[in-house]
Amino acid sequence: MKTKIKPERVTIGMEVHAELKTLSKMFCGCPSDHFAKKPNTQTCPVCLGLPGALPVPNKKAVIWSLMIGLALNCKINKKSKFDRKHYFYPDLPKGYQISQYDEPLCVNGYLDTSEGRVGITRVHLEEDTGKLQHKKINGKNMTLIDFNRSGVPLVEIVSEPDIHSASQAKEFCQKLRNILRYLEVTDADMEKGSMRLEANTSWGLNLGYKVEIKNLNSFRFVEKAIDYDLDRQRKLLEEGITPKQETRGWSELKNITVSQRYKETAADYRYFPEPDIPPMEFDDEFINDIKKQIPQLPEEITRKFIKDFGVKDEYALILASKKGKADFAL
């Protein structure tokens, strides 16, 4: 008979991807607005990964990513670089993604929630992948690839495993989206896929596993998927079984998580520095100029409504929830 494994404490970390609404892509001059465009009409040798094509970083995307880091109370790395993240998937034409590994743009920030402070491990910049479309053509199941999204600037925000409930994870994501929208650097529209949420969950850091949950395209699904999968993990632990370290997806139709693949480690991606892009260096003057571009953020505006105008807490939160409402009220 297997010995029951005692669950410790719900432990959750969030990974949030947001497409930046720059006019051009991350490493080429193709338009970045890919939504509802004719497939494969906004591409070039760079974003198609053709031999000999060289990437040129988008300065605006770098500045906006630094702005996000500052808004999340991060430390800016004055020296940062891009890396190649290797994996095989049909929507990744080069066989690697230009991302950041050990020298990201921003580190060690935080975002406060009603259930406590959540640390921000890092904010880094990378390129988005193409988009797969699964269709039936002439009675056969086919997968089509649209590379219009390939190379669109994508900022990734990674939290510490400081979240201890599904409701806190939901609040964290909602607050983060408000900040991103106040900065006006992304639409953060989950229906269009310009903001994507992933949760890493376990019943304790010492149990030697974590389960990543993808396909979370609404705040409601974040809460439902985390609650469901933590319950699934708890039942396994009570049977003496350590849950697999894997990636699972949320099934909206069945209201369950389903196994997709094993969870990769950093070693599987074989990171190494991107040889075609020199390291970036930022001085204090450059960083201070970016700080000046940051508007008043939701937290500050909420306090202003309460302190200066005597608005009740719950109404102040509603007024500050969208930048347009707050600007009108002020």
Q: Which residues contact 307 (CB under 8 A, 6 or more apart)?
A: none
Tell me 291's DSSP state.
H
| Res 325: pLDDT | 62
Q: What is the mean pLDDT of residues 236-250?
A: 94
* H or E element in which residue 313 lies: helix 313-320
pLDDT value of position 261: 83
161 is written with which tokens?
């495993």
Q: Which of 155, 74, 157, 159 is nearest to 116 (CA)?
A: 159
State pLDDT tens for residues 178-221.
999 999 999 999 999 999 999 999 999 888 899 999 989 999 99
Identify the band that residue 100 occupies on the pLDDT scale cut at 50, 70 and 90: very high
Quote the tokens at residue 154.
């994508």
DSSP summary character for residue 295: -
Which residues are within 8 A (CB) of 114 and not within 5 positions of it... i.e. 6 or more apart? 168, 171
Residues 148-184 pLDDT 10s: 999 999 999 999 999 999 999 999 999 999 999 999 9
Percentage with pLDDT > 90 across the chain: 80
pTM above 0.95, yes or no: no
Q: Are 268 and 87 in contact (CB under 8 A)?
A: yes
pLDDT at 323: 75
Are 210 and 198 spatial neighbours (Cβ–Cβ below 8 Å)? Answer: no
In this model, does residue 326 exceed pLDDT 80?
Answer: no
pLDDT digits (tens, 9 = 90+) for 61-79: 999 999 999 999 999 999 9
4 — alpha (psi -120 to 50), left (phi > 0) or beta?
beta
Q: What is the mean pLDDT of residues 213-232?
A: 95
> Does the structure show a pLDDT above 60 at 314?
yes
For 106-121, b where at least 16 C-beta lie within 10 A, e where not — what string? bbebebebeeeebbbb
- What would you report as the CA-atom Rg of the chain, rounded to the nearest whole angstrom? 21
Cβ atoms of 236 and 250 within 8 Å: the answer is: no
Alpha-carbon distance 81 to 325, whole Å?
Answer: 38
pLDDT at 120: 99
Looking at the DSSP bridge assignments, the partners of residue 155 are 18, 125
The pLDDT mean for the chain works out to 93
pLDDT at 67: 98
Cβ atoms of 61 and 80 closer than 8 Å: no
In whole angstroms, give the CA distance from residue 194 to residue 42: 17
- What is the spatial distance between Cα 273 and Cα 54, in angstroms, rounded to a whole number? 15
